[in-house]
Amino acid sequence: MDLGSLARTHGVRLLALESVDSTNDEARRLIEAGERGPFWIVAARQTKGRGRLGREWMSPAGNLHASLIVSDFGESAVAPQLGFVAGVAAMRAVRAATGESRRFALKWPNDLLLDGAKLGGILLENVGVATGDARAPRASVAIIGIGVNCAEAPQDTPYEARALAALGPGAPDAPALFAPLSDALIETLDLWRGGAGFASLREEWLTYAAQLGADIRVALARETVEGRFETIDATGRLVVATNAGARVIEAGDVLIGPRRAAAGAGL
């Protein structure tokens, strides 16, 4: 496992582990010990991988399990936009590594799809740290966790999952994907600039968006919203046209495709 050339020239560092409980958890421990990044933690295997809302993330050997520590990105209020920064970077990376373009898509807010099935996901976490500055005593350090099914897709998930290996001979393995991903995240972070370039990233994200303009269902805590996926707004919120008017959604799960009969841990 190695960084791309652009990441190396930007001073990004890398810790490659054989096994860890979770790369996000290891990132948190390093932040608590003083690490501020940019610093990647990559593991060949996770024993307690997790996704959004505490869901288990299946982490067999051969898949990509990686987390990037970043700081100095501006106000903590813009930190959720990092999911879109990472999503665009992931799309650039898989397209570069595979030579494919039309088979990949992004599902709001943080999933990577291959032929409509889940290929990977992004888990954002913020860690509050002391700055030693009386004028601004606390700051946020972000963890961008990225998992991609490269060699193997889990079979016991509620929705269909797929791995890059499904592309056939020549499909990139985890190291072949990680190098362009590390470079692409430098590019998108530079473009984003603490939110100043989000409008440009938003436009690119929308070109990759799954089901844009189509009818979707969005599972919220107490209801499921149905309507047409119109866009994401200037802050990244999902805009759905319903019979009762436009709904602007900050957090939820977009449901695409038929649900599997078998239950299981979600990616």
Can you read off the two tokens belonging to residue 179? 């190098």
Q: Which domains can be identified in the chain, with CATH numbers?
A: 5-208 (3.30.930.10), 215-255 (2.30.30.100)
User: For residue 175, which of 63, 70, 85 has the smallest C-alpha distance?
Assistant: 63
User: Do the Cβ atoms of 145 and 125 come closer than 8 Å?
Assistant: yes
CB-neighbour burial class of residue 68 (10 A; exposed 0-12, middle 13-18, buried 19+): buried
Per-residue confidence (pLDDT) for residue 54, from 0 to 100:
56
What's the DSSP call for residue 238? Answer: E
Can you read off the two tokens belonging to residue 216? 């979707």
Per-residue confidence (pLDDT) for residue 36, from 0 to 100:
95
Can you read off the two tokens belonging to residue 254? 């977009």
Main-chain dihedrals φ then ψ at residue 84, nearest 5 degrees:
-75, -35
Q: What is the pLDDT along the chain (267 residues), one digit of tens a residue?
A: 999 999 999 999 999 999 999 999 999 999 999 999 999 999 999 997 766 555 666 667 899 999 999 998 777 788 899 999 999 999 999 999 999 989 999 999 999 999 999 999 999 999 989 888 778 778 899 999 999 999 999 887 777 999 999 999 999 999 999 999 999 999 999 999 988 899 999 999 999 999 999 999 999 999 999 999 999 999 999 999 999 999 999 999 998 754 544 333 333
Look at strands 245-249 and 138-148 and give their pairing.
unpaired
Sheet holding 215-219, edge to edge: 245-249, 238-242, 224-232, 215-219, 253-255
Longest dimension (CA), the chain: 57
User: What long-range pairs does 247-254 form, CB within 8 A, spacing at least 24?
Assistant: 249/218, 249/220, 249/225, 251/109, 251/220, 252/218, 252/219, 252/220, 252/225, 253/218, 253/219, 254/107, 254/108, 254/210, 254/211, 254/216, 254/217, 254/218, 254/229
User: Do the Cβ atoms of 128 and 142 come closer than 8 Å?
Assistant: no
Question: What's the whole-model pTM score?
Answer: 0.91
User: For residue 84, which of 172, 204, 2 has the smallest C-alpha distance?
Assistant: 204
User: Do the Cβ atoms of 254 and 211 come closer than 8 Å?
Assistant: yes
